[in-house]
Structure 1
Amino acid sequence: MAAENPSVSGVAGRYATALFELARDQKSVDAVKADLDRFKAMLAESPDLTRLVRSPVFSADAQGKALVAVLAKAGIGGIAANFLQLLNANRRLFAVHDVIRAFGALVAKFKGEATADVTVAEPLNDQNLDALKSALKSVTGKDVTLNVNVDPAIIGGLVVKLGSRMVDSSLRTKLNSIKHAMKEAG
């Protein structure tokens, strides 16, 4: 299955594929995805947790003890907790972000969904998110999950990446185009 999806490859792809197949067989794909998404959110919120996960300075034992405590506090258990502990035991915890992303891609493919990476200058409200989802659904024919990133550097507009396609309607890109056109003319 990993070979069918180019975004799922390497070490992260192999681990994600194994986890996905186990979760699918246990009929707990949604529960595992929810737990992994919760862990991913914790990583995003905590620089200390990110350092623990990524730093080779910590021993597997120290990482394991800390991981057990973090998972218990977050209420993450079952397959997801066992999997995260396996990553730690195999000294692959540093790849957890890529594994979670690859697992999400496998789940989306399994459910017939598409994932779009959207970059905006400021956060979108629910109405705009729904409009964007429905516009992308009309193009793809699939339900679309949005990964929204806020980057004020694009000034305005948005950049949408969906599979191998990208639409850049950011104000920054338009201004750069005008700048280049003026250089060529002058």
Structure 2
Amino acid sequence: MMGASREALEAARERLDALADNTRVDPSALASDLAAVTALLDRETALRRVLTDPAQPGQGKADLVGRLLGDQVGGEAVDLVSGMVRSRWSASRDLVDAVEQLADTADMIAADRGGSLDSVEDELFRFGRIVATSPQLRAALSGKDTAAAAVAARTELARSLLRGRADAVTERLVVRLVERPRGRSLDAGIEALSTLAAARRGRSVAVVTSAVPLGDRQRQRLGDALSRIYGREIQLNLDVDPGVLGGITVRIGDEVIHGTIADRLDEVNRRMAG
């Protein structure tokens, strides 16, 4: 997102956090309502253009949201979206992305309240690794057929894989992603959800790949070192890949720290080829 959209999203996050402080607000219901708004805005291109048109008065756009959504979703969702359309957005698509992110965040809040956020974070990571290593499963969950029957089949497959094996929040998040990927790959979508879960806990996610499982002391030392480097708590998601031949690779967002024998061999080969 560009500057204006980033500021608008941050303001919306603050309003969502304020709502979350009220124990009378059901974050799961709010997540469901915001997901429904996401689907509407994603489908109705003309509507989202009107709602992000800087030439239109903010109050007028908020009133339109109230008329359209007042009987469809709860008051908290209407208030959040009304506040969002008063803000300036760099692109109309950014509004949809922001509402979707708030929906996912509301579900994270529900998990946090229920004491299961750690489990949700871990389950999302593990499910992502399963998908990444199973092309057939990824294809089954990521089909491009948008016919209702095909979408229903994919979402039911996701539910059957997670039902009874994962937290209800994890199931809802993954099913929504499978149902409405909105141009994202399944891998990228799950990774974004994992990052959002970590951010809810004030942490960043480091995906650590090693040739053999790391011991408790190694994990503690690595986590402490990364926290010192980045100035915040770092959640380690561990993956084992014998192909790295030793050492570790750490990926935090778009930054990759290489420290494997395979990486060094690749560097030697590149220099020899040059």
In which range does the TM-score fall when normalised by the shorter chain?
A: 0.5 to 0.7
Pairing 1:9-48 to 2, within 5 Å after superposition: 17-23=101-107, 27-29=110-112, 31=116, 34-35=119-120, 37-38=122-123, 41-42=126-127, 44-45=129-130, 47=134
Unaligned runs of 5+ in 1: none
User: 1:42 and 1:137 mapped to 2: Cα distance?
Assistant: 25
The answer as to 2:143 corresponding to 1:59 is: no
User: Residue type of the partner of 2:238?
Assistant: V
1:36 shift after superposition:
6.6
Shift of residue 52 of structure 1? 2.9
The one-letter amino acid of 2:102's match is: A
Take 1:180 and 1:86, find their aligned partners in 2: how far apart are those partners?
Answer: 43
Contact 1:16/1:100 (<8 A) preserved: no
Aligned residues, how many?
A: 178
After superposition, the CA RMSD in angstroms is 4.1
C-alpha change, 1:32 and 1:49, in structure 2 (3 Å) is farther
Cα separation, 2, equivalents of 1:149 and 1:35: 17
Question: CA separation of 1:108/1:64 partners in 2, compared to 1, >3 Å: closer, same or farther?
Answer: closer
TM-score normalized by the length of structure 2: 0.48
Tell me the SS of whatever aligns to 2:249. Answer: strand
Of 119, 131, 134 in structure 1, the residue corresponding to residue 221 of structure 2 is 131
Which one of 244, 248, 263 corresponds to residue 154 of structure 1? 244
Amino acid at match of 2:163: A
Identity of paired residues, percent? 20
Larger Rg: 2
Q: Which amino acid aligns with 2:232?
A: K
User: Greater relative contact order: 1 or 2 (C-alpha under 8 angstroms, separation 6 or more)?
Assistant: 1
Give the TM-score of the pair, scaled to structure 1: 0.65
**1:97–1:170 Cα change, 3 Å:** closer
Evaluate the alpha carbon distance shift between residue 65 and residue 175 of structure 1 in structure 2; reply closer, same or farther with a 3 A threshold. closer
Partner of 2:31: none
- CA–CA separation in structure 2 for the residues paired with 1:122 and 1:132: 15
Is the Cα–Cα contact under 8 Å of residues 16 and 99 in structure 1 kept in the other structure? no
